[in-house]
């Protein structure tokens, strides 16, 4: 009765010895111990064995099963060790070889634009200020003359956070304008600053992101007029876009924190998207003279000090400059996109003279 078991053991041991890898080993296991395996079939046929021989036959089958499982595990250990050795040999590094060239990194278009903004406004005498992304309601809204009923304060537009600051709700800043307030409170005029940084609003599509970047500018001094505002922004736009004759238009608008307020447009071609010509106008940023109430909120006398402020979306001007149609790839981390639009850290940029 044991001849067939001895034959199965011998055959399986031979197949295990010939198994060259773990896949072949698993095939032997399935053929012997699987649901349709040879040993499994013998165990299922135990009921047909005469009663007086069944106990002895069962014990022999269990012994055979234990020996086969032990043989399988022993062979598995040998093959796993061999596979590990082969992998280590394949991944080995020859330290005597010359060093591999380091991968070339590129500057993200947003970072590049911030560098250009800083350089252009720096040449005009502006300093860069930074501040917290989480602001109190007073800095983000109230001090900027934004009333309680203003749509920007509504939950569907603004990310409010748990807790309060100075008795008011805490918010992810919707603009970098709070840094204008912080600067006026902390620094005596004259003031000339820009505030680039992240901002947050509840909006998301091809041209809007819930997290984006803005740059705000502020000038406070004696005798500041609209002429200073127009000259500053015209020179900036022509320098940034590299078009000395770029048409720039100022038109009346409304912002709670400036009076008078103006939208700024640049000339472009609606059909081709080309900047600087075509007879069409494209809104690019908002600006205006600092509202007397904002000055008063910061302890400044509007009869002595005047100023202008402006703000623009960094993604927006980056998209216009480089001909990008969709905002979302800025945040998708696609290396192919970055290779196309990224800039070498060593590449200089030229500040174009305004016409």
Instruction: Say whether pLDDT at 354 is over 60.
Output: no
Domain boundary among 91, 120, 149: 91
Dihedrals phi, psi of 212, to nearest 5 degrees: -150, -175
Same domain, 81 and 144: no
Query: Is residue 240 included in any domain, yes or no?
Result: yes
Query: Is residue 352 included in any domain, yes or no?
Result: no
Quick: pLDDT tens for 220-270.
999 999 999 999 999 999 999 999 999 999 999 999 999 999 999 999 988
State the pLDDT at residue 207. Answer: 60
Query: Is residue 348 included in any domain, yes or no?
Result: no
Question: In the predicted model, what is the mean pLDDT of residues 338-353?
Answer: 76
Same domain, 188 and 41: no
State the pLDDT at residue 240. Answer: 95
Query: Is residue 351 included in any domain, yes or no?
Result: no
Instruction: Say whether pLDDT at 45 is over 60.
Output: yes
Quick: pLDDT tens for 79-119.
899 988 988 888 887 788 887 776 678 899 999 999 999 99
Same domain, 78 and 199: no
**Domain coverage including residue 37:** 3-91
Query: Is the overall model pTM greater than 0.75, yes or no?
Result: no
Query: Is residue 224 included in any domain, yes or no?
Result: yes
Dihedrals phi, psi of 48, to nearest 5 degrees: -85, -5
Same domain, 301 and 328: yes
State the pLDDT at residue 7. Answer: 84
Same domain, 50 and 79: yes
Tokens at 166, concatenated: 């100075």
214 pLDDT tier (thresholds 50, 70, 90): very high
Query: Element (H or E) spanning 136, and its range?
Result: strand 134-136
Dihedrals phi, psi of 5, to nearest 5 degrees: -70, -40
CATH code for position 161: 3.30.930.10
The angle formed by the CA atoms of residues 327, 332 and 338, to the nearest 5 degrees, is: 85
State the pLDDT at residue 59. Answer: 84
For the ranges 80-84, 110-114, 125-129, 152-156, which has the lowest average pLDDT? 152-156
Same domain, 242 and 159: yes
Query: Is residue 51 included in any domain, yes or no?
Result: yes
Tokens at 240, concatenated: 């940034």
State the pLDDT at residue 205. Answer: 64
pLDDT mean across residues, the chain: 88
Instruction: Say whether pLDDT at 73 is over 80.
Output: yes
Q: What is the rounded CA–CA span in Å between residue 43 and residue 332?
A: 58
Query: Is residue 17 included in any domain, yes or no?
Result: yes
Pairing label, strands 280-290, 160-165:
unpaired
Same domain, 183 and 322: yes
How many separate domains does the chain show? 2
3-class SS shares of the chain: helix, strand, coil, % to 5: 45, 25, 35
Question: In the predicted model, what is the mean pLDDT of residues 310-330?
Answer: 90
């Amino acid at each position: 009765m044991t001849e067939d078991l001895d034959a199965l053991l011998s055959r399986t041991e031979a197949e295990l010895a010939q198994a060259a890898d773990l896949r072949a080993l698993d095939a032997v296991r399935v053929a012997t111990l699987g649901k349709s395996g040879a040993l499994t079939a013998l165990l299922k046929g135990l009921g047909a064995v005469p009663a007086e021989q069944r106990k002895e036959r069962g014990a022999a089958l269990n012994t055979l099963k234990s020996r086969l499982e032990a043989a399988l595990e022993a062979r598995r250990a040998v093959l796993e060790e061999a596979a590990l050795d082969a992998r280590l040999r394949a991944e080995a590094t020859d330290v005597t070889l010359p060093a591999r060239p380091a991968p070339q990194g590129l500057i993200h278009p947003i970072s590049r634009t911030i560098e250009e903004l800083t350089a252009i406004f720096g040449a005009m005498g502006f300093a860069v200020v930074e501040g917290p992304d989480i602001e109190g309601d007073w800095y983000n809204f109230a001090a900027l003359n934004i009333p309680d009923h203003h749509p920007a304060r509504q939950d569907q537009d603004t990310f409010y956070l748990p807790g309060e600051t100075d008795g008011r709700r805490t918010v992810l800043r919707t603009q970098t304008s709070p840094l204008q307030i912080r600067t006026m409170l902390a620094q005596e005029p004259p003031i000339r600053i820009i505030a680039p940084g992240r901002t947050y609003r509840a909006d998301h599509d091809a041209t809007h992101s819930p997290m984006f970047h803005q740059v705000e500018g502020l000038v406070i001094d004696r005798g500041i007029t609209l002429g200073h505002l127009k000259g500053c922004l015209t020179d900036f736009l022509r320098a940034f876009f590299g078009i000395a004759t770029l048409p720039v238009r100022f038109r009346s608008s409304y912002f709670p924190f400036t009076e008078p307020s103006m939208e700024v447009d640049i000339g472009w071609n609606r059909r081709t998207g080309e900047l600087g010509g075509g007879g069409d106008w494209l809104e690019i940023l908002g600006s205006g003279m600092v509202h007397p109430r904002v000055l008063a909120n910061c302890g400044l006398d509007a009869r002595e000090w005047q100023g202008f402020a402006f703000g623009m979306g960094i993604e927006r001007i980056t998209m216009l400059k480089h001909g990008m149609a969709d905002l979302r790839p800025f945040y998708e981390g696609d290396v192919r996109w970055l290779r196309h639009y990224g800039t070498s850290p060593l590449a200089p940029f030229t500040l174009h003279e305004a016409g």
